[in-house]
Amino acid sequence: MIATVPTEKKPDEVPPAAAADGEEDEEMEEEGAPEAQGAGGEGKKKKKKKKPKKKSKLEQTEPPTIGLTKLFPDGNFPEGELQEYKDDNSYRTNSEEKRYDERMAMEDPEVTYNNIRRAAEVHRQVRKYARKTIRPGMRMLEIADLIENGVRNLVEENGLESGIGFPTGLSLNHCAAHYSPNSGDTIVLGEKDVLKVDIGVHVKGRICDSAFTLTFDPTYEKLLEAVKAATDTGVREAGIDVRLGELAGYIQETMESYEVEVNGKVLPVKPIENLSGHTIAPYQIHGGKSVLLVKNDDPTKMEEGEYFAIETFGSTGRGKVIEQGEVSHYARKVDAPHVPLRLTSAKALLKSINKNFGTLPWCRRYLERAGESKYLLALNHLVSQGIVQDYPPLCDVRGSMTAQFEHTILLRPTRKEVVSRGDDY
């Protein structure tokens, strides 16, 4: 007998992604141990005893292609980082009543946290690959594709049931948010660029909204550190009954405790005063509440059960953004007025938007992927009629640099869950 092919599986039992099966190789090594391959045909020594069949543990490929339901066959997706509530709410962690409320939430398919956790795990796996792959010299369109292919595969994109949560944000330098390349974009990532990578993943309308910043030049490391710390402060100070205006003050305080030296000049890190975090509702990226980054008098409180995107932006410029450049991001308004549309093309485009995206945000590339072409007139009409909202790129002054870090958190009855937390940020 010559071959030492692992025999625990019949050929038709080999999973389609066998190459990704980490333990397949391990078992090969075990059975291919030196004594089993003795030249003199003393292959008898080969372990014959069947070990209790190891569950073949599937591992993610690179680039990521394996759907998360395959990697988590029991259907339970990992919890994010847990943080206990503070002060008056510290009782919640062990409260019998709150623990009961949470069990009920988990059992209710409308409420369960499992959907957002699946979205968050997709986010972690895709960004891990994005972080190690994105390099100066790549075109913005390539970067968008590598991220979006990963999301579509891992979340097992399926109509409005699961897919991309919003267009991949790839804003550069003084632009802080809402730039994604349109088709034909020729921009190439440069060595000195500061890139905000904002990825959205949804499962049954539960959107994981999380972003990080990349630099390849150490000059702006302090800027990134400041913004990461400010977001961590926002996450740490968030809680049930916390007032949004006060939370903004803590974020501001952290951000302003940093400065960054650029070409021998010391610059303060300013929180961008007209950007904010926000609640997230099912299929609605903006649920209605906003968390500004500068102390204010908003007395609105965070509430039990809410989902928040805690995001902060720091800038070496004015600390204020304006709309600038070609629009890529759009979303049908949730409370769109009913306007009879005279333009046939606009009517048809709206139908396609409803079918493909509902109220989730999308970008021009996604429309084209859905088969639309020469849609700009119709699209502009839907915007002017108040049916579709456009989200132009948001930029500080030219020459400045901006950074962003963002996490999605759940205000569970007993604890706060930072669903999108990973080992990177």
Binding residues for substrate: 178, 286
Options 51-59, 299-307, 311-319, 376-384: segment touching Mn ion (CB under 5 A)? 311-319
CB of 203 to Mn ion, least distance (A): 17
Q: Is 110 a catalytic residue?
A: no
Catalytic one among 278, 329, 381, 407? Answer: 278
CB of 209 to ligand HZT, least distance (A): 5
Binding interface with ligand HZT (CB under 6 A): 166-167, 169, 177, 198, 209, 276, 278, 285-286, 290, 309, 311, 329, 331, 361, 391
Let me know how many helices (H) and strands (E) the chain has, helices first: 10, 18
3-state secondary structure of 26: helix
Q: What does the alpha-carbon distance between residue 283 and residue 361 come to, in Å, rounded to a whole number? A: 9
Q: What separation in angstroms does the CA of 94 have from each of 90, 209, 242?
A: 8, 29, 20
Task: Provide Rg for the chain, Cα atoms.
Answer: 25
Beta bridge partners of 47: none
Q: Is 202 a catalytic residue?
A: no
Q: Please, are residues 178 and 394 in contact by the beta-carbon 8 Å criterion?
A: yes
Supply the DSSP string of 198-245, one letter for each residue: EEEEEETTEEEEEEEEEESSGGGHHHHHHHHHHHHHHHHH--TT-BHH
Residue 120 found at the interface with Mn ion (CB under 5 A): no
Residue with tokens 């291919």: 32
Catalytic one among 121, 148, 406, 417? Answer: 406
What token pair was written down for 245?
């205006």
Say which entry of ligand HZT, Mn ion, none residue 102 contacts (CB below 5 to 8 A, set by partner kind): none
Site string for Mn ion, 395-414 (x = CB under 5 A): -----------x--------
Nearer to Mn ion, 127 or 381 (CB): 127
Say which entry of ligand HZT, Mn ion, none residue 329 contacts (CB below 5 to 8 A, set by partner kind): ligand HZT
What token pair was written down for 284?
């609605």
Q: Which of residues 58-77 bind Mn ion (CB under 5 A)?
A: none
Binding-site residue positions: 178, 198, 209, 278, 286, 311, 406
Q: Please, are residues 311 and 406 in contact by the beta-carbon 8 Å criterion?
A: yes
Q: What does the alpha-carbon distance between residue 199 and residue 129 come to, in Å, rounded to a whole number? A: 13
Residue with the closest Cβ to ligand HZT? 361
Catalytic one among 198, 232, 273, 372? Answer: 198
Catalytic one among 121, 148, 209, 372? Answer: 209
Q: Is 286 a catalytic residue?
A: yes
Q: What separation in angstroms does the CA of 61 have from each of 64, 229, 238?
A: 5, 32, 36
Say which entry of ligand HZT, Mn ion, none residue 222 contacts (CB below 5 to 8 A, set by partner kind): none
Catalytic one among 145, 185, 286, 298? Answer: 286
Binding residues for Mn ion, rule: CB under 5 A, are: 198, 209, 211, 309, 311, 406
